[in-house]
Amino acid sequence: KRPRVVIVGGGAGGATAARYIAKDSKGAIEVILIEPSRTYYTCFFSNLAIGGFQPMSNLAHSYGKLASEYSVTVVHDWASAVDREKKEVRLAGGDAISYDRLVLSPGIDFIKDSIEGWDVTAQTKMPHAYKAGTQTQLLKAQIEAMPEGGTFAMVAPPNPYRCPPGPYERISMVAHVLKQRNPTAKILILDPKEKFSKQGLFMEGWETHYPGMVDWLTDEFTGGVQRVDPNTMEVVMEDETVKADVVNVIPPMQAGSIAQQAGLTNEKGWCPIVPATLQSQMDENIHVLGDATQNGDMPKSAYSANSQAKAAAMAIRHALTSSRAFKPRFSNTCWSLISTDNGVKVGASYVATDEKIAKVDGFISQNNEDDALRKQTYEESLGWYAGITTDMFG
Ligand code: FAD
């Protein structure tokens, strides 16, 4: 009987792992992917959809090729529980699927009750747009419908969270839209952090391309967000209350709830892993990938999840079919678009030490780069998107 790998979550980590295990084991391992959605909308490039640089349809990917070309069995259902004793995953639909190895790449969930007044039932009034699809479209529509001279407010998340530059790339894209449609509108970022990813590059970009439009306010100025009211569209801070036309609430995050349920999370709500193999520190038969991990130095990005998935796939094939395993090397780059043809990036490579996935070298775009270089950086990101989505879905 062939050994079986069950993968929960068909996103950046899970789809890559499914494809690589199936492809490289050439049928020696049975691969079952559990994912409720038939269409995966990438969060990566969803800010570009808000900015009008990508149609929503470009973000949509299906699992057809994983099934037809790589013989992955794709089950469209929710994993509702993991029985680690019996080594099986229970599905919301009632079935149970046993595994030799389990891969969890469920992404993030928002921490319940972390912002008073906001819960997922409020997401139609105050969207997060931090899981892509209808939330992205809703936020885009709200921005386009803002009254002249209106206010867009973002409640930014505390560390650690999915895609460190994501909120600030979003601000750039919102500013790009408003500059054309609604140039007297204002953008407020209400931020619990003292600093953020690529801050110097974003701030320079906002100053140059959207002068006077963006205000970044940390808790030092506001006293911190105390609560929000989706009915009145107010954000209440210690020192003032803001009434806005669009409120983009990006709540604090933790590992996707199935990882909590399976007992694989630490006190901070993330999954500690063995750096070289991505095995859970709580269960050697389970590998955790992507945003859900606490891995050391790698940021929560699709690039990271994809890179980790390949290392885990190699370790799993080694464990189940004795194929060779090498020391993994990981890499990540996060590109962000600031305005038309104006891309910036930050990235690094990493190795597995005993303690963590450790950064070994890095690079970042510089202030004052010329237009040609910024355009080249943007074009590089288009190439990356085409490459990673093919790497995930075939
Ligand atoms: P995901 O890709 O979110 O996949 C998780 C999957 O698991 C989902 O499809 C979900 O349906 C499924 N799932 C969850 N629970 C269950 C369950 N119980 N049963 C079955 N299935 C389940 N990254 C980059 O590298 N570059 C970028 O430019 C970039 N831009 C971003 C912009 C924004 C606005 C955002 C929000 C994110 C961005 N990211 C970017 C981050 C990137 O999207 C995530 O880091 C990446 O998707 C993480 O991969 P993952 O596999 O951990 O989770």
Instruction: Please report the pLDDT score of residue 239 as a whole number.
Output: 85
Measured between alpha carbons, how far is 122 from 145 in angstroms, rounded to an integer? 19
Q: What is the ipTM of this complex?
A: 0.99
Counting from 1 in the atom list of ligand 1, the atom nearest the Cα of 388 is 25
CA of 103 to the centre of ligand 1 (A): 15
Pairing type for strands 279-280 and 271-274 reads: antiparallel
Instruction: Please report the pLDDT score of residue 210 as a whole number.
Output: 98
CA of 179 to the centre of ligand 1 (A): 30
Q: Would you say 202 and 338 are in contact if contact means Cβ atoms under 8 Å apart?
A: yes
Give residues (CB < 6 A) around ligand 1: 8-14, 34-37, 40, 43-44, 46-47, 78-79, 105-107, 130, 162-163, 166, 170, 256, 258, 289-292, 300-303, 305, 334-335
Residue having the nearest C-alpha atom to atom 51 of ligand 1? 13
Instruction: Please report the pLDDT score of residue 180 as a whole number.
Output: 98
Phi (first) and psi of residue 323, to 5 degrees: -70, 165
List pLDDT tens digits, range 328-382: 999 999 999 999 999 999 999 999 999 999 999 999 999 999 999 999 999 999 9
CA of 207 to the centre of ligand 1 (A): 31
Q: Take residue 149 and report the two structure tokens written for it.
A: 């001279």
Q: Would you say 248 and 236 are in contact if contact means Cβ atoms under 8 Å apart?
A: no
What is the full DSSP assignment across 6-22? Answer: EEE--SHHHHHHHHHHH
Alpha helices in the chain (DSSP H): 12-25, 46-50, 64-70, 134-144, 166-181, 199-209, 219-222, 257-261, 302-321, 371-393
CA of 305 to the centre of ligand 1 (A): 9
List pLDDT tens digits, range 358-372: 999 999 999 999 999
> Nearest Cα to 189, choosing from 210, 181, 298?
210
Counting from 1 in the atom list of ligand 1, the atom nearest the Cα of 14 is 51
CA of 46 to the centre of ligand 1 (A): 12
Instruction: Please report the pLDDT score of residue 101 as a whole number.
Output: 98
Phi (first) and psi of residue 325, to 5 degrees: -125, 140
Q: Which residues of the chain have pLDDT under 70?
A: none
Instruction: Please report the pLDDT score of residue 26 as a whole number.
Output: 96
Residue having the nearest C-alpha atom to atom 18 of ligand 1? 79
CA distances from 337 to 13, 180, 216 (A): 23, 17, 18
CA of 356 to the centre of ligand 1 (A): 22
CA of 164 to the centre of ligand 1 (A): 13
Residue having the nearest C-alpha atom to atom 45 of ligand 1? 301
In the numeric block, the tokens 């019996």 are attached to 86
Counting from 1 in the atom list of ligand 1, the atom nearest the Cα of 42 is 43
Q: Would you say 109 and 253 are in contact if contact means Cβ atoms under 8 Å apart?
A: yes
